[in-house]
Amino acid sequence: MGVAFYGHSSIVADAKNYGLGSKIQPGRAHGGGYTFIKDSLVNQKGFKYYRDHHAKAPYLFNASTKQLISYDDEWSVKNKCRYVNKKDMGGVMFWEYSSDKKEYLLDEINQDLK
């Protein structure tokens, strides 16, 4: 099972449904590594934290800039690890180790896959 230690960001066409399902606009937006996202963006700088309970994944949305950032956090990692254990899978892999400088996600993986 893959775990992203980074966020993927896009600018969306409108703020309806907190950016979900909206058309992606051309251009680039910076997501950043998980430590940066957790320490500097979650419920800060116009970003609001949301959870997609169907996908079991968090995302941030800034209604002013229409920037949406999807990523893994401790909650989604816990859900992925539960799935791995339930399905008797071999484990998880992650990319990019240096993006979790404070080891928030690595600690969650270690705790959940003991």
| Phi, psi of 19, deg, nearest 5 | 90, -15
Q: Residue holding tokens 């169907």?
A: 54
Enter the pTM of the model: 0.93
> Which residue range is the domain that position 19 belongs to?
2-112
**What is the rounded distance in angstroms from the CA atom of residue 102 to the CA atom of residue 105?**
8
- pLDDT tens digit sequence for 66-106: 999 999 999 999 999 999 999 999 999 999 999 999 999 99
**What is the rounded distance in angstroms from the CA atom of residue 11 to the CA atom of residue 14?**
9
Beta bridge partners, 68, equal 10, 61
- What domain count does the chain have? 1
Question: Which pLDDT score is estimated for 103?
Answer: 98
- pLDDT tens digit sequence for 3-31: 999 999 999 999 999 999 999 999 888 89
- The enclosing domain of 77 has a CATH number of 3.10.50.10
